[in-house]
Amino acid sequence: MAFTIEIILAYMILIPFIMFNLFFLSGSFFQGRVSKLFLKILMANEEIKESYYVKFKILNITIWIIVGLLFLLSLNNPFSLGGLMVLLAFRSGASLIRRFIFGIHDVKILKDHFSERKSMDMVLFIVRFGVVIELLFMLTWGILYQYLSVSVNSLFGIEVNLLTLFLWIAGFVYGAIFSVIQSLISKQFLLKNELGIALVFSGEMIKDKVEEKKDFAKKLFKFKR
């Protein structure tokens, strides 16, 4: 009975964890606007090259999927709650520290070049919210600690609860190293998904769209005259 309650509670936490991460992914629809804002606030006259940013992103996604699948397939029952925890553990540790380091990097750019306090506060809120969401994974692990130790075994002879913790710590270390390297060599925004969402909620996206329409109307009026 106790295990049943723990499993239900774990799912109640894991479902919002997954849903909010999918919500952050929706920010990719606004990345074009984020890039445009970046050019605007830095008053850049040439387009920013993003090839290395995309390469880093593809590399990070590929690594966490490979690591997650490798250890998932080492379980005697991969299609289980324990399997889901193992699959997400490395990614969760890497994402937590990535959001933290990238958030410091992006907020610094905003403070140096952008005076709109409302947008900056929204970015800070989104970054902090993202970090809290990633911590939900560790809360789930804590709730399931005893359950995972007896429910699923690893081919490596390691209890799944310890394997999950090992993968999370490994992901955290990996994420810290790569995030620091990327933030040091980058002069552009790195949390583009989160920034896209922040721009929508702060009204900056709508404001920018209205200004575009005004500019278009002025040009059209001049042309007719």
Residue 123 and residue 45 in contact, taking contact as beta carbons nearer than 8 Å? no
How many domains does one find in the chain? 1
| Mean pLDDT calculated for residue range 108-133 | 76
- pTM for the model stands at 0.75
Percent helix / strand / coil, the chain, rounded to 5: 85, 0, 15
The enclosing H or E element of 95 equals: helix 81-113
From CA 159, how far away is CA 161, in angstroms rounded?
Answer: 6
**pLDDT tens-digit series, residues 163-200:** 888 999 999 999 999 999 999 988 777 887 777 766 66
At 213 the pLDDT is 44
Domain that holds residue 59: 2-224
**pLDDT tens-digit series, residues 33-84:** 665 665 555 554 444 555 677 788 889 999 999 999 998 888 887 888 888 8
User: Other C-beta atoms within 10 Å of 28: how many?
Assistant: 13
% residues pLDDT > 90 (the chain): 18
